[in-house]
A and B are shown apart, each in its own frame.
Chain A
């Protein structure tokens, strides 16, 4: 899992660096993220992911102490945080698509790259979150049935923390740098 994380981290780093460079190179880069709903939603999303990382750590800790029932509850709590993140993110996407008329290929501000980079970055991250939710659901069911060891839960925790870690870079670079005052 660490080797996979290395590969994925380099992928996201390259995409983030390319996005930041294009953003700085475009004088009229749009700044459409109003305090409500965009910044508020993305801040709550950050809180959801950070809290889900905490619950995931508690799940790993519970498994290390042999408490499978508690581990399952903590994994389910992690999934609630991740599910809330996806729901809020999709709401934010629908707001941008319907109200701001923004697509990956065009928008009202005359900078097509804005939509392309935004949806590519956040879409790739959200895909990772959804895959993580599927992964955790399998872990929760299996651990509840007495399968898998503590190390297996720890490996799933590594993936989830990585997903959280990537958001720690996407949130400030994409949302906060384009916040509309």
Chain B
């Protein structure tokens, strides 16, 4: 009984610790984004960094807060086409037309 109670407590604390760690990581990445905004890198670099950090933050939220990391593979496969489509939409920002717009002289 005490072993079971300890196991439950361990699961609870591990879960809570993981959630707080993810939350802190999300906050840190937000601070990095705001700092980058005031460093003013070139547009292409800035956009890549912002989108990259946003994708990482989204992945953490989906995996841990939305619990997808611990769900069945079939659920992940249901979401996979949508994720691919969203990535393609983001990559369209870097395709010939928009890429040319980003590197034109300001």
Contact = CB atoms under 8 A, between A and B. Distances in A.
Interface stretch (A87-95, A132-140, A167-175): A167-175
Given A25-B101, A168-B61, A181 B38 contact: yes
Contact of B82 (A10, A24, A46, A58): A10
B78 interface: yes
A20 B93 contact: yes
Interface string A143-179: 0000000000010011001101100110111001101
A177 B19 contact: no
A172 B54 contact: yes
A2 interface: yes
Contacts of A24: 43, 93, 98, 101-102
Contacts of B43: 24
Contacts of B64: 57
Contacts of A172: 33, 37, 50-51, 53-54
Interface in A37-59: 39, 43, 46-47, 50-51, 53-54, 56-58
B54 A168 contact: yes
B86 interface: yes
Interface string A6-47: 100110011011001100110100000000000100010011
Interface string B22-60: 010011001001101110100100110011011001100
Interface residues of B, number: 45
Nearest to A35: B38
A165 B64 CA distance: 12
Contact of A177 (B46, B57, B58): B46
A25 B93 CA distance: 11
Interface of B: 8, 12, 15-16, 19-20, 23, 26-27, 30, 33-34, 36-38, 40, 43, 46-47, 50-51, 53-54, 57-58, 61-62, 64-67, 75, 78-79, 82, 85-86, 89-90, 92-93, 98, 101-102, 106
Interface of A: 2-3, 6, 9-10, 13-14, 16-17, 20-21, 24-25, 27, 39, 43, 46-47, 50-51, 53-54, 56-58, 61, 65, 154, 157-158, 161-162, 164-165, 168-169, 171-173, 176-177, 179, 181
19 contacts: A9-B82, A10-B86, A17-B90, A20-B93, A24-B101, A27-B106, A43-B34, A50-B23, A50-B26, A53-B65, A57-B64, A61-B19, A161-B66, A172-B37, A172-B50, A173-B54, A176-B50, A177-B37, A177-B50
Given A2-B79, A161-B61, A177-B46, 12 more contacts: A9-B82, A17-B92, A47-B27, A50-B27, A53-B23, A54-B19, A65-B12, A168-B26, A168-B57, A172-B33, A176-B37, A181-B40
